[in-house]
Chains A and B, each alone.
Chain A
Amino acid sequence: MVPTDLHYTKDHEWVRVDGDEATVGITAYATEQLGDIVFVELPDVGRSLDQFATFGVVESVKAVSDLFAPVGGEVLETNAALTGQPELVNSEPYEGGWMVRLRLADAAQLDELLDATAYDALIAAG
C-alpha cells in the first residue's frame, strides 16, 4: 500500500498538501521502474507551473524521464540535496527524495488526481 495521505498522478508523481503548500516527488513504484537515479533536473525557484506541465527531468543510468506537476503553482523551493545525492529518490522517495515545493494555485486541482486506493489499483494493473 502506498502512503494514504498523498495524491497521485497516473505518471507516478505524488503530492503532499499542507495548507497552501504542495510537496511533489515520484513514487516508489516509479523509482523501481527507473532503476538507479543518477541525475535530477529541477525548475528555478519562482517559476510558475501549470497542472500536469513538465517541471523537470529524472535520469537513471539508462533512461531519461520527464516529471509532471500534479498541481499548478509557483515553485517555492527545490530539493538541493538531490544535486549531490540523486539516489535519495530511490532510497526515500516519499521523504528525503522530494523534488519541489509549490504554492498551491487551486486546491480543486487535487480532484483530478488519484487517491492511494486508486493509485494502488493502477500499479497493480501494471
Chain B
Amino acid sequence: MTETIEPTVHLTPLTEIHRELGARLIEFGGWLMPVQYGSILEEHRAVRERVGLFDLSHMGELHVEGPDAGAALAAALITNPPSLAVGRAHYSMICVPDGGIIDDLIVYRLAESRFLVVANAGNAATVSDTLAERLERYKAVLDDRSLATGLLAIQGPLSAGVLGPLTDVDLSALRYYAIAEGAVAGIPAMVARTGYTGEDGFEVFIDTSRTAELWAILLAGVRSAGGLPVGLGARDTLRLEAGMPLYGNELDLDTTPYEAGLGRVVKLDKPGDFVGRAALEKVARDGPARKLVGLIVEGRGIARHGHPVWVGDRRTGVVTSGTQSPTLGVPIAMAYVAPGDAEPGTVVDVEIRAARVPARVVALPFYRRQA
C-alpha cells in the first residue's frame, strides 16, 4: 500500500511560457523552475558575452516596514541595515544563536522606514517566520509578498543596453547594489543593479499579474541583442565561476559566515545585540574550524558536491559544488578544507569515484569580469 502526499509545488507566472519555450522543468526550493531551455553551455556563454533573461519569481520578497524597521533588522540579521542609504542594498545573512546560517539575503532600503529582504526560495517560509518572530518586540511589521511578486533578472554585458530604452529609471545613475522605483515598458517596477552571475545586470521586481507581459517584452529585447532565456543550470555554473555561495551547498545551519569566507559581512562593530553575536564573536576571535576554498582540478575528472578532499592520507574536507567551468574550460569546485590547507597553491586530492585526482587550491572567484 502506498500513499503519496503531494507537497505543494508553486508555479511562477511564467511556468507555462517556459514549457512553450521547450524548457526542462524541475522542482527547486518548492517551485517548478526551468533548469535549461536548450544548452546550458550556450545559456552560460550568452550571459558572459551578451545578455540572458532569468525568471527568479521563486525568490522570497519580505517587506519590513515601521519606525523601528531598521533597528529590528539590525537585531535580526548579521549586517546593519540602518547604515544603508535609501535606495541602496547589501548582502546579508540571518543566523541562529549558535552562528549557523538560516539563509543568505539581499537587504534593500526602499525608504527611511521600509526595507525589502530577498530570501532564497527554499528558505523563504522559514526566514519569513523567523523574522516575524524577531520583529515582535519592535514597531515594525513584516509583509511576505513572495507570492505576489514576480522577479526577472537581466544579466550580462549588454543588459543595460537592452533594459535602458525600456525604462524611465536612469541606469547610468543606478550604482551596483542600488535600487530605484520606476516603470519598465510602462509596468510599475523596482529595478535593482544586483545579480548572481558575476556580470553587470539588473533584477526587476514587478507584480505577478504583469510578469508574463514584462517577460515577453524583455525576452524580445534580449533575443534581438543575441541573448537567450537562461535556466537554473547556467545560473549555477555562472555563480560558481563568480565564487558566490549557494545555500544548501556552501551555506547551511552548520556553517558560520567565517567558515564561508564571508566574515566581512558580519558587522560585529554595529551597536546592540543581534542573533548570533556571541557565537560569531568567538569564531572571529578563535578562527573558523574549516575554510571555503576554490579548487581547480588538474587531473582527469570533475569534482562534485560530496566528494571527499584529501591531503596525503588525511581527509581534510569535502567538495560543496563542482562543475566543468564553461568559461575557463577546466573543472572547478568549491570545498571546505582544514584551515592549514586553505592557502592558494596547496595541492590536494579529490576523491572522484574510486580515484584520487590532484587539484590545486586557488583564490576565489574563478572568474572576474573586466571592468
**Chain A interface (Cβ within 8 Å of chain B)?**
35-36, 38-39, 41, 57, 59-62, 64, 83
**Between-chain CB contacts (< 8 Å), 18 pairs:** A35-B36, A35-B233, A36-B39, A36-B40, A36-B41, A41-B301, A41-B353, A57-B353, A59-B302, A59-B324, A61-B233, A61-B323, A61-B324, A61-B326, A62-B35, A62-B236, A62-B323, A64-B304
13 other contacts beyond A35-B40, A39-B331, A41-B353, with CB at 8 A cut-off? A35-B233, A36-B41, A38-B324, A39-B301, A57-B353, A60-B40, A61-B233, A61-B237, A61-B323, A61-B324, A62-B233, A62-B236, A83-B300
What separation, in Å, do the CA atoms of A33 and B186 have in the docked complex? 40
What separation, in Å, do the CA atoms of A41 and B301 have in the docked complex? 8
With both chains docked as a complex, state the minimum distance between the C-beta of B76 and any C-beta of chain A, in angstroms: 35
A39 lies within 8 A of B36 (CB): no
What separation, in Å, do the CA atoms of A6 and B236 have in the docked complex? 37
Output the nearest chain B residue to A38 by Cβ-Cβ distance: B324
CB under 8 Å from chain A, chain B span 2-46: 35-36, 39-41
CB neighbours of B40 from chain A (8 A): 35-36, 60-62
Output the nearest chain B residue to A60 by Cβ-Cβ distance: B40
**Most chain B CB neighbours (cut-off 10 Å) among A39, A57, A62:** A62
Tally of contact residues, B, Cβ under 8 A:
17
Output the nearest chain A residue to B26 by Cβ-Cβ distance: A62
What separation, in Å, do the CA atoms of A76 and B305 have in the docked complex? 33
Are A41 and B304 also in contact (CB < 8 A) when A35-B39, A36-B41, A57-B353 are? no
What separation, in Å, do the CA atoms of A88 and B192 have in the docked complex? 41
With both chains docked as a complex, state the minimum distance between the C-beta of B351 and any C-beta of chain A, in angstroms: 14
Output the nearest chain B residue to A86 by Cβ-Cβ distance: B324
Convert B322-342 into 0s and 1s, putting 1 for each residue whose CB lies closer than 8 angstroms to a CB of A: 011010000100000000000
What separation, in Å, do the CA atoms of A62 and B39 have in the docked complex? 11
What separation, in Å, do the CA atoms of A39 and B233 have in the docked complex? 17
With both chains docked as a complex, state the minimum distance between the C-beta of B311 and any C-beta of chain A, in angstroms: 24
A38 lies within 8 A of B302 (CB): yes
CB neighbours of A59 from chain B (8 A): 302, 324
With both chains docked as a complex, state the minimum distance between the C-beta of B254 and any C-beta of chain A, in angstroms: 25
CB neighbours of B39 from chain A (8 A): 35-36
What separation, in Å, do the CA atoms of A47 and B290 have in the docked complex? 41
Output the nearest chain A residue to B41 by Cβ-Cβ distance: A36
With both chains docked as a complex, state the minimum distance between the C-beta of A13 and any C-beta of chain B, in angstroms: 19
What separation, in Å, do the CA atoms of A62 and B41 have in the docked complex? 11
Output the nearest chain B residue to A35 by Cβ-Cβ distance: B40
B304 lies within 8 A of A39 (CB): no
Output the nearest chain B residue to A57 by Cβ-Cβ distance: B353
CB neighbours of B331 from chain A (8 A): 39
CB neighbours of A57 from chain B (8 A): 353
CB neighbours of B300 from chain A (8 A): 41, 83
With both chains docked as a complex, state the minimum distance between the C-beta of B366 and any C-beta of chain A, in angstroms: 15
Q: Which 9 A-B pairs have the closest CB atoms?
A: A38-B324, A61-B40, A36-B41, A39-B302, A36-B39, A62-B233, A59-B302, A36-B40, A35-B40
With both chains docked as a complex, state the minimum distance between the C-beta of B353 and any C-beta of chain A, in angstroms: 7
What separation, in Å, do the CA atoms of A61 and B24 have in the docked complex? 14
With both chains docked as a complex, state the minimum distance between the C-beta of A60 and any C-beta of chain B, in angstroms: 8
With both chains docked as a complex, state the minimum distance between the C-beta of A87 and any C-beta of chain B, in angstroms: 9
What separation, in Å, do the CA atoms of A119 and B353 have in the docked complex? 30
**Most chain A CB neighbours (cut-off 10 Å) among B41, B237, B326, B353:** B41
Output the nearest chain B residue to A87 by Cβ-Cβ distance: B41
What separation, in Å, do the CA atoms of A38 and B327 have in the docked complex? 13
With both chains docked as a complex, state the minimum distance between the C-beta of A16 and any C-beta of chain B, in angstroms: 27
CB neighbours of A83 from chain B (8 A): 300
What separation, in Å, do the CA atoms of A83 and B323 have in the docked complex? 16
What separation, in Å, do the CA atoms of A59 and B236 have in the docked complex? 16
With both chains docked as a complex, state the minimum distance between the C-beta of B355 and any C-beta of chain A, in angstroms: 9
What separation, in Å, do the CA atoms of A14 and B300 have in the docked complex? 25
